């Protein structure tokens, strides 16, 4: 188990904007937004309902990246993988 799986996100300090999420994922902000809308990234909604403002947890983004790597490795090794 890696360290990011052990720690729960700290809401006061762990939240990052979409531009940082995109940088962490190595994609454009548009692609990161599309992934978030598709439900591939957990987020915290804030502000007025329906305004589309979201904050993302650095810890949860790292977990998503690690999960993707683990799935890719298992697939490469020929294992059946349920995402």
Is 41 inside any structural domain? yes
Structure confidence by residue, pLDDT tens digits, 13-63: 788 888 999 999 999 999 998 988 888 887 665 555 555 567 788 888 888
pLDDT tops 60 at residue 5? no
Is 6 inside any structural domain? no
Is 58 inside any structural domain? yes
Per DSSP, what are the bridge partners of residue 56?
16
Is 24 inside any structural domain? yes
Is 83 inside any structural domain? no
Number of domains in the chain: 1
pLDDT tops 90 at residue 64? no
Range of the domain at 31: 12-76
At 5, list the tokens.
Answer: 């799986």
3-class DSSP assignment, residue 44: strand
For the CA atoms of 11, 83, 37, 60, what is the dihedral angle to 10 degrees? 10
Is 3 inside any structural domain? no
Is 81 inside any structural domain? no
């Amino acid at each position: 188990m890696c360290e990011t799986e052990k720690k729960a996100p700290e809401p006061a300090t762990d939240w990052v904007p979409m531009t940082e999420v995109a940088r962490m994922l190595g994609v454009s902000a548009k692609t990161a937004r599309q992934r978030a809308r598709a439900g591939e990234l957990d987020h915290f909604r804030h502000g007025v309902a329906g305004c589309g403002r979201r904050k993302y947890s650095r810890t949860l983004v790292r977990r998503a990246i690690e999960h993707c790597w683990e799935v890719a490795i298992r697939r490469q090794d020929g294992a059946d993988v349920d995402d």
